[in-house]
Amino acid sequence: MEITRNADGTLLVPVQPERRHQSDDTATGAAAGVGADALPDKGPSTRLLHPGEGGYDEALAEWDRQQNPDRDPAVSTASGREAAMTLVHAVAESPDHGVTEAVESLEDPEAGAEALRHVLIGGVPAVEAFSAEVAEAEGGEPLPAHETTKIIGEVLQEFD
């Protein structure tokens, strides 16, 4: 099952079912006075993750890899990092959250996308550091990591 990215930035991710042994089920059921067939379900097979929630950054990076599994590993160049910072700042400052316009305004948007993929691979600490770097380069306060991650997801979706 693949990860699904929704329009609001949430991710629907598969969840590994908890491993349970038949002997554990039977013992639990016997202790509770019920048969093994009366035990509750094993739980949901998916989970909805919101930006900022634990595991979201990793799931977003995996979602991005699923979009193009043959793509080479992400590489961040200096010019790509600058483009990525410009993209994130432009989208964050745009009154209508204009991702398409921000992407189209760059000389080398692909380099910016690669740099953003590289940030995601580093997880929350990398996103926080990137957000601080954007604020230092572009001015203003750093965005919370979950907002930066959501913008990165929107930008990457524009490329796919």
Q: What is the pLDDT of residue 42?
A: 61
Q: What percent of the chain has pLDDT over 70?
A: 82
Q: Which residues contact 86 (CB under 8 A, 6 or more apart)?
A: 102, 106, 112, 138
Give the residue numbers spanning the domain of 142. 56-62+65-159
Same structural domain for residues 11 and 76?
A: no
What mean pLDDT do residues 16-22 have?
68
Q: Evaluate if residue 123 carries a pLDDT over 80.
A: yes
Same structural domain for residues 13 and 77?
A: no
Same structural domain for residues 39 and 73?
A: no
Same structural domain for residues 130 and 70?
A: yes
Backbone angles phi, psi at 47, to 5 degrees: -140, 140
Same structural domain for residues 106 and 41?
A: no
Q: Which residues contact 49 (CB under 8 A, 6 or more apart)?
A: 10, 11, 12, 13, 55, 56, 59
Same structural domain for residues 14 and 36?
A: yes
Same structural domain for residues 87 and 115?
A: yes
What mean pLDDT do residues 104-125 have?
88
The overall average pLDDT reported for the chain is 82
Q: Evaluate if residue 132 carries a pLDDT over 90.
A: yes
Q: What is the pLDDT of residue 101?
A: 85
Q: What is the pLDDT of residue 24?
A: 53
Predicted model pTM? 0.67
Q: Which residue has the higher pLDDT, 136 or 37?
A: 136
Same structural domain for residues 83 and 153?
A: yes
Instruction: With cut-offs at 50, 70 and 90, classify the pLDDT of residue 109.
Output: confident
What beta strand segments (E) does the chain contain? 4-5, 11-14, 46-49
> Residue 116 belongs to what H/E stretch?
helix 109-121
Q: What is the pLDDT of residue 33?
A: 52
Of 5, 40, 4, 3, nearest to 25 (Cα)? 40
- Tell me 107's DSSP state: S
Same structural domain for residues 117 and 155?
A: yes
Instruction: With cut-offs at 50, 70 and 90, classify the pLDDT of residue 40.
Output: very low
Q: Is 47 left (phi over 0), alpha (psi -120 to 50) or beta?
A: beta
Split into its structural domains, the chain has a count of: 2
Same structural domain for residues 46 and 69?
A: no
Same structural domain for residues 103 and 155?
A: yes
Type of residue numbered 128: E
